[in-house]
């Protein structure tokens, strides 16, 4: 397919084949026989130098456990232009660093009127990437093109407007290739409703990805599984909770039609490790590193370890190898 595309483009335009891609818009690509490693190490160093954090002390987590920020912080104000520049640079870094996505999204809420508290959180992210400069995503060579998604949400996490945060991540093979952590557009009145909003966003993205893969001649013959948290929460009618379920009829109708058409399936799962990163759940540094390995995040030169090593569950116990997905049953 790519050979045909190059031939057609060469006939239409003047082009020069300069070989395998090694660098693209700040993203470094190392292509090998066993896979491709992408990172933004050079861009990370530029950010640290730009904001004078290149000599700062590194830290093990991008954000403190359970941190809550507010727009009504009474601390000293900081220059909004400087803060927006910092957050904008960090946002582009999330192209290859899903481990900082939640933290960057958190400080993004306060770009209009930032304070020293917000700036301190943003600088903590810089200190974290200072110690993980060479981290990136390793995509191993594989014929496994089955799409699989993970979805989760918190409830009322924003103390200003009490909106919840949706997090989802999609795998194809053993590495994450698309992810999102975003505040929900509405205020939900229960954890059940927050989960409806989260899984609806995830399913919408899954439908779009299936259509895209179909255009790329990688059709998904089976239903795409969407894994979600399991503690007693199901997307079926629950006795005694009918009033809560009536709060989101549009979500229920959409999900019901999608699942009946076999485009997607949901399954219960203990809190998805990948979504812990995207929602900022309390994760000690050693657990955070284990979760990062689970989604394919590795340090340059350590790709083989990340691909074959065991990942760490939230309880701290060793689980199945990184290149295998947990059972849906």
The CATH number linked to 204 is 3.30.420
Q: What percent of the chain has pLDDT over 90?
A: 16
Q: Per-residue confidence at 235, pLDDT binned at 50, 70, 90?
A: very low
Which pLDDT value is given to residue 317?
33
Q: Is residue 300 included in any domain, yes or no? A: no
Which pLDDT value is given to residue 240?
35
Q: Are residues 164 and 271 in the same domain?
A: yes
Window from 232-236, 286-290, 293-297 with minimum mean pLDDT: 232-236
Q: Are residues 158 and 274 in the same domain?
A: yes
Q: Are residues 47 and 151 in the same domain?
A: no
Q: Are residues 53 and 171 in the same domain?
A: no
Q: Is residue 80 included in any domain, yes or no? A: yes
Single residue among 113, 133, 153 that ends a domain in this structure: 133
DSSP assignment of 286-328 equals: HHHHHHHHHTTEEETT-HHHHHHSEEE-TTS-EEEETTSPPP-
Domains in the chain: how many in total?
A: 2
Please state, rounded to an integer, the average pLDDT across all residues of the chain. Answer: 75
Q: Are residues 117 and 197 in the same domain?
A: no
Q: Per-residue confidence at 314, pLDDT binned at 50, 70, 90?
A: very low
Q: Is residue 3 included in any domain, yes or no? A: no
Average pLDDT over residues 236-249: 37
Residue pLDDT, tens place only, 113-134: 899 999 999 999 999 999 889 8
Q: Rounded to the nearest 10 degrees, how much is the dihedral formed by the CA atoms of 64, 105, 201, 266?
A: -20
Q: Are residues 175 and 243 in the same domain?
A: yes
Residue 123 backbone dihedrals phi, psi, to 5 degrees:
-70, -30
Q: Are residues 237 and 118 in the same domain?
A: no
Q: What percent of the chain has pLDDT over 70?
A: 70
Predicted TM-score (pTM) of this structure = 0.71
DSSP assignment of 173-231 equals: SSSEEEEEEEE-SS--SSHHHHHHHHHHHHHHHHHHHHHHHHHTT----SPEEEEEE-S
Q: Per-residue confidence at 137, pLDDT binned at 50, 70, 90?
A: confident
Which pLDDT value is given to residue 118?
93
Q: Is residue 115 included in any domain, yes or no? A: yes
Residue 72 backbone dihedrals phi, psi, to 5 degrees:
-100, 30
Single residue among 133, 159, 177 that ends a domain in this structure: 133
DSSP assignment of 56-98 equals: SPP-S-SS-TT----TT--SPB--HHHHHHHHHHHHHHTTT-G
Q: Are residues 179 and 258 in the same domain?
A: yes
Window from 216-230, 266-280, 287-301 with minimum mean pLDDT: 266-280
Contact 123, 130 (CB under 8 A): no
Which pLDDT value is given to residue 267?
47
Q: Looking at per-residue confidence, does 117 or 284 come out higher?
A: 117
Residue pLDDT, tens place only, 155-211: 888 888 899 888 888 888 777 888 888 888 888 888 888 888 888 888 888 888 888
Q: Are residues 75 and 181 in the same domain?
A: no
Tell me the residue range of the domain where 264 lies: 144-279
Which pLDDT value is given to residue 188?
86
Q: Per-residue confidence at 252, pLDDT binned at 50, 70, 90?
A: low
Is residue 241 over pLDDT 60? Answer: no
Is residue 93 over pLDDT 50? Answer: yes
Q: Are residues 245 and 183 in the same domain?
A: yes
Q: Is residue 262 included in any domain, yes or no? A: yes
Q: Is residue 23 included in any domain, yes or no? A: no
Is residue 249 over pLDDT 70? Answer: no
Average pLDDT over residues 139-164: 85
Q: Is residue 6 included in any domain, yes or no? A: no
Q: Are residues 109 and 75 in the same domain?
A: yes
Q: Is residue 239 included in any domain, yes or no? A: yes
Which pLDDT value is given to residue 299?
73
Residue pLDDT, tens place only, 42-86: 999 999 999 999 888 988 888 887 788 888 888 899 999 999 999
Residue 13 backbone dihedrals phi, psi, to 5 degrees:
-130, 160
Which pLDDT value is given to residue 289?
65
Single residue among 245, 264, 279 that ends a domain in this structure: 279
Q: Are residues 128 and 185 in the same domain?
A: no
CA distances from 319 to 89, 291, 311, 328 (A): 35, 11, 6, 15
Which pLDDT value is given to residue 125?
94
């Amino acid at each position: 397919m790519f050979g045909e595309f190059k031939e057609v483009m060469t006939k239409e335009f003047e082009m020069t084949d300069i070989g395998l891609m090694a660098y693209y818009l700040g993203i470094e690509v190392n292509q090998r026989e066993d896979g491709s490693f992408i990172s933004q190490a050079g861009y990370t160093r530029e950010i640290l130098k730009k904001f004078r954090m290149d000599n700062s002390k590194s830290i093990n987590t991008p954000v403190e456990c359970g941190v809550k920020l507010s727009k009504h912080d009474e601390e000293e104000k900081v220059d909004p232009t400087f803060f927006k520049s910092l957050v904008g640079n960090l946002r582009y870094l999330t192209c290859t660093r899903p481990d900082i996505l939640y933290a960057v999204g958190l400080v993004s809420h306060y770009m209009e009127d930032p304070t020293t508290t917000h700036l301190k959180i943003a600088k903590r992210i810089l200190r974290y990437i200072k110690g993980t400069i060479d981290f990136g995503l390793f995509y191993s060579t594989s014929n496994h093109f089955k799409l699989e998604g993970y979805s989760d949400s918190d409830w009322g996490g924003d103390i200003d407007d009490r909106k919840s945060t949706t997090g989802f991540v999609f795998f194809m093979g053993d590495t994450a290739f698309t992810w999102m952590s975003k505040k929900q557009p509405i205020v939900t009145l229960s954890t059940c409703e927050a989960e409806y909003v989260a899984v609806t966003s995830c399913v919408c993205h899954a439908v779009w990805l299936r259509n895209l893969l179909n255009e790329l001649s990688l059709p998904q013959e089976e239903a795409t599984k969407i894994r979600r948290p399991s503690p007693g929460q199901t997307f079926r009618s629950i006795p005694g909770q009918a009033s809560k379920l009536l709060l989101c009829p549009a979500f229920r109708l959409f999900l019901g039609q999608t699942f009946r058409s076999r485009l997607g399936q949901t399954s219960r799962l203990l809190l998805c490790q990948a979504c812990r990163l995207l929602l900022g759940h309390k994760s000690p540094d050693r657990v955070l590193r284990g979760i990062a390995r689970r989604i394919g995040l590795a340090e340059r030169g350590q790709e083989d370890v990340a691909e074959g090593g065991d990942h760490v569950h939230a309880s701290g116990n060793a689980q199945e190898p990184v290149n295998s997905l947990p059972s849906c049953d």
